[in-house]
Amino acid sequence: MRILLVDDEVEIADLYVRYLKRCGFPETAVVHTSQDAVEYIEQYRPDFVVLDISLGADSQGTGMDVLARVRTTVPESRVCMMSAYRDEHEKLSLDLGAHVFIAKPFQPDVLLELIKAADRKGLA
C-alpha cells in the first residue's frame, strides 16, 4: 500500500512516517506543502492520503484544495483529513470527500489502526 502524509509540521510528520514504515508500511512518503502533495499524488497515485487541513496556502492552495485534487486525480484513494480544529473542520472534510477525520494531536498508533483497517477491508 502506498501512503502519503501531508503536513507542514515537519518534525511530527516525519515521526509518523518513520513509525508507519517500522510497522510494515515501507511505501510511506511525506511532503510538507500543497504543491509537493499535488506533484506526488499525480505521479505516484497513493492508496491512502493523510492530509492536514491547515497547510499554509501555496501555489496549489490549502489542504482542502489538495483534497479536491485527490478526489479528481485518484478517486479510489482513501483520504484521512487531520486538524486541531475538529469543530470547524470535521464535517466540512467529510462533506468534501474525505473518508475519515482525525483530530490533532493523536498518537501514531491511532493512525496506524486507521490504515490497517482500510487495508484489511481492501478500501485503500
Q: What is the mean pLDDT of each run of 10 residues along the chain (124 residues)?
A: 95 95 96 94 96 78 90 94 88 92 93 89 60
pTM here? 0.91
Q: Are 17 and 29 in contact (CB under 8 A)?
A: yes
Residue type, 89: H
Find out if CATH 3.40.50.720 is the number for domain 3-115.
Answer: no
Cα–Cα distance, 80 to 103 (Å, whole number): 10
